[in-house]
Amino acid sequence: MDCVIALDVGGTSMKAALVDEQRQVITSRRIPTGRADGPDAVAERIVAAVADQHAAATQLGRTVRGAGVVVPGIVDEERGVAVFSANLGFRQVPLRGLIEKRVDVPVAFDHDVRAGGLAEGELGAARGVRDYLFLPIGTGIAGAVVLDGRPYSGHGYAGEIGHMMIDRDGPPCGCGARGCLETLASASAIAAGYERRTGRPVEAHALRDLLDADDPDALAVWQLAVDALATGLAAYATLLAPELVVIGGGLAEAGDILLSPLARELDARLTFQRRPRLVLAELGDQAGALGAALLAWRLAGS
């Protein structure tokens, strides 16, 4: 029986899985990324993780048809190179070549969020939709641009909606600019905003209880985030007219507390543009790994 290896590499951990031809997960595990050990060590762990999954498939009597590996940052999927990733410390790391030297399987290599967007399109909330934006909101904000059913990479640079400038006088961003969307509306930005207003630290996931209790500071910080997201999505809608926006990441757990005010604010900013539907992602933190598997199966011709 055939399968593929899927590996979704994050700054803290990697999700490794074996996925069959029906897109069902056979086995999965998490592996520490170990970014504190440096980029060379991380690259070696990625290669080793693929090799270990290949050995596990063999023990299960499975034939591995290929591997899909996805990473954050700027990715050249054609050359199989991680051009730049702040989370992993990568600069021009030829990951596909390193893996293929160790493991005798073809390797599909791409960006983690684009892979997640592909998975939501085939298996999740965007099934049957040709033009959509997958928008995971967590510690940062990224986007997967899907046009006519195909993820658009822009040679690795497309989808960085988190670095759309919303307020030129806003907080400094790690990218070197100020007032980027993720400095205003990411989970980490919301938590930091609440602490600035109150002097009290709070985890972003705990903010929901404060919102339910009508805490005025929580409501004010949340409204700022919603306003920033609506402004960014209005610009995106004007340019690319998506039918759907799929919101994922940790902030999606807020559910209707996020979707309802965001829909209102987006409506207030649109005039002639096509108004996209806003929905929550369905695949959770498995989207990247499932997307990696889909890429591997495409490379295998299935």
What is the 3-state secondary structure of the chain? CEEEEEEEECCCEEEEEEEECCCCEEEEEEEECCHHHCHHHHHHHHHHHHHHHHHHHHHCCCEEEEEEEEECCEEECCCCEEEEECCCCEEEECHHHHHHHHCCCCEEEEEHHHHHHHHHHHHCCCCCCCCEEEEEECCCECCEEEECCEEECCCCCCCCHHHCECCCCCCECCCCCECEHHHHHCHHHHHHHHHHHHCCCCCHHHHHHHHHCCCHHHHHHHHHHHHHHHHHHHHHHHHHCCCEEEEECHHHHHCHHHHHHHHHHHHHHCCCCCCCEEEECCCHHHHHHHHHHHHHHHHCCC
User: In the predicted model, what is the mean pLDDT of residues 230-248?
Assistant: 97
pLDDT at 29: 95
Asked if the structure places residue 154 within a domain, the reply is: yes
Q: For 284-298, write each residue's pLDDT tens digit.
A: 989 999 999 999 999
Q: What's the average model confidence in pLDDT over 250-257?
A: 90
**In this predicted structure, what is the pLDDT of residue 250?**
87
Least confident of 49-53, 124-128, 175-179: 175-179
Query: pLDDT at residue 168 above 90?
Result: yes
Same domain, yes or no: 15 and 95: yes
Q: Does residue 64 belong to any structural domain of this protein?
A: yes
Whether the predicted pLDDT of 139 surpasses 90 = no
Query: Is 271 a domain residue?
Result: yes
112 belongs to a structural domain: yes
Residue 164: per-residue pLDDT: 96
Claim to verify: residue 142 and residue 84 sit in the same structural domain: no
For residues 107 and 132, membership in a common domain is answered with no
Higher pLDDT, 135 or 204: 135
Same domain, yes or no, for 171 and 214? yes
Can you tell me the mean pLDDT for 85-89? 86
In a domain, 122, yes or no: no
- With pLDDT > 70 as the criterion, what percentage of the chain qualifies? 100
Q: Which residues, in sequence order, are CB contacts of 39 under 8 Å at separation 6+?
A: 88, 89, 90, 91, 93
Q: Which domain holds residue 143?
A: 127-281
Instruction: Please indicate, yes or no, whether residues 150 and 60 belong to a single structural domain of this protein.
Output: no
Nearest Cα residue to 181 out of 231, 134, 222: 231
Assigned domain for 100 exists: yes
Are 147 and 211 part of one and the same domain? yes
Query: Which pLDDT band holds residue 236 (cuts at 50, 70, 90)?
Result: very high
Residue appearing with tokens 């007032």: 179
The answer to whether residue 121 is domain-embedded is no
Q: Is the pTM of this model over 0.85?
A: yes
Clarify whether residues 108 and 136 are in a common domain.
no
Residue 224: inside a domain, yes or no? yes
The highest-confidence range among 150-154, 181-185, 298-302, by mean pLDDT, is 181-185
What is the domain-level CATH number for residue 50? 3.30.420.40
How many domains is the chain partitioned into structurally? 2
Q: Are 49 and 76 found together in one domain?
A: yes
The predicted model gives 53-62 an average pLDDT of 97
Average per-residue pLDDT for the chain? 95
- pLDDT at position 81 is 97
Work out the burial of residue 23: count CB atoms within 10 Å of its CB; fewer than 13 is exposed, 13-18 middle, 19 or more buried. Answer: middle
Whether 238 and 213 map to the same domain: the answer is: yes
Asked if residue 140 and residue 63 are part of one domain, the reply reads no
Query: According to the model, what pLDDT value does residue 207 have?
Result: 85
Distance of alpha carbon 154 from alpha carbon 166, whole angstroms: 22
Kindly state whether residues 72 and 161 are assigned to the same domain: no
Residues 206, 276, single domain; the answer is yes
- 46-60, 64-78, 192-206, 267-281: which range is least confident on average? 192-206
pLDDT, tens only, 1-56: 899 999 999 988 999 999 999 999 999 999 999 989 999 999 999 999 999 999 99
Q: Which of 205-214, 264-273, 277-286 has the lowest mean pLDDT?
A: 205-214
Handedness of CA 96, 101, 103, 106 (dihedral sign): positive
Q: What is the mean pLDDT of residues 68-97?
A: 93
